[in-house]
Amino acid sequence: MPDSITPSVSPDGDSMIVDMIRRFSQERLAPLAAEREKTKRIEADVIAELGELGVFGATTPAQWDGSEIDPVTYAKVVEEIAAGDGSVSTMVSVHNSPTCIVIGNYGTDAQKDRWLRKLATGEHVGSFGLTEPQAGSDASNLRTRAVKKGDRYVVNGAKQFISNATHPGSLVFFAVTDPSAGKKGLSAFVIDKTHPGFSVARVEEKLGQKASDTCALTFEDAEIPEDQRIGAEGEGYKIALSTLESGRISIAAQSIGMARAALDYAVGYARDRKAFGGAIIDFQAVGFRLADAKTRLEAARQLTLYAARLKAEGRPALEAACMAKLFASEAAEAICTTAIQTLGGYGFLADYPVERIYRDVRVCQIYEGTSDVQKLILQRML
């Protein structure tokens, strides 16, 4: 059994935890990342080991069996996992923030005892059901309805682009309880994924991150007890927005991890590859390109850690989180392009990891708020 994370509150991060996750990522995740893509599945034993390590409880208080690491350490942990396998980092990110954070911050003690403990240990894998076919960044445009009947809600509707849905566990989702109230008419709920009336309608075929499932969900007259509503009626929009800072810092860290892996591989290749009597890294056309990529990577990392540090200190972090997510996700694609270019024709082949990483990292500019949405928020905050 691997060592496990113990609670840490250091605003500068815990290097022992990060080192432990780095070893796990490089020894257990990276070597089989290509195989996971082929099978389109993350192995059960890897999920179990992540649970033993405390990764699934990273954002959950120790009171509820979580490892409760600080935001800076968590960002570094996500980076390390993403450097090993982007698909696994998406599973971890969605599970922790927003899913566990929502139950931890707004759930009742009974809900935490029933769902959060299992999530924190990895017995359950969490999913977050906000997006719908017609409502992505505009969360106020949801159509899934939850109609109150006695002490239950009857839920009908559909969700789209939902991660982790095929893994046993819990789903936090949002539905309209008062159609006349606009965004104040949304409410949050939690269910087991085996709940009657709920089903995974389809697992999507994707460009990248194929080991991380992305699903369409349906609710057909699903009866949900009132005590499975999270927070009060009408608080759903507020609850959904409360996860933005943590979620965007996490995606920024994920972008950095994948980009780092691609750049490291490209640098190693450039040192070994010989042309015109020397290593290609010694030619300015190659070396300068890699130097620019390294600079972008470090700039993205420092911006992300700054946002995480603000979060750790309890200071407003939304602006920094949006900037980090915007810059890191776009820089990561550029860095992966540099890696492919450095390998030349080999960079275009599936035999080499940079091709897969390039596809995996592209979605970071889309989920947890597109780049356009980040710019819109930052424009409003000027």
- Residues labelled as active-site residues: 368
- Exposure string of 97-114, with b = 16+ CB inside 10 Å and e = fewer, is bbbbbbbbebbeeebbeb
Q: Which amino acid is at 247?
A: G
Q: Which two tokens stand for residue 45?
A: 């034993």
Distance in angstroms (rounded) separating the CA atoms of residues 25 and 14: 17
Cα distance between the two ends of the chain: 50
Select from 19, 34, 20, 59 the least CA-distant residue to 357.
34
Q: Is 275 helix (H, G, I), strand (E, B) or coil?
A: strand
Q: Is 136 exposed, middle or buried (0-12, 13-18, 19+ CB in 10 A)?
A: middle
Distance in angstroms (rounded) separating the CA atoms of residues 252 and 377: 16
Q: Which two tokens stand for residue 118?
A: 């299992």
CB 56 within 8 A of CB 217: no
DSSP string, 66-102: -----HHHHHHHHHHHHHH-HHHHHHHHHIIIIIIHH
Whole-angstrom CA distances from 123 to 2, 48, 210, 234 are 16, 8, 22, 30
Distance in angstroms (rounded) separating the CA atoms of residues 231 and 237: 11
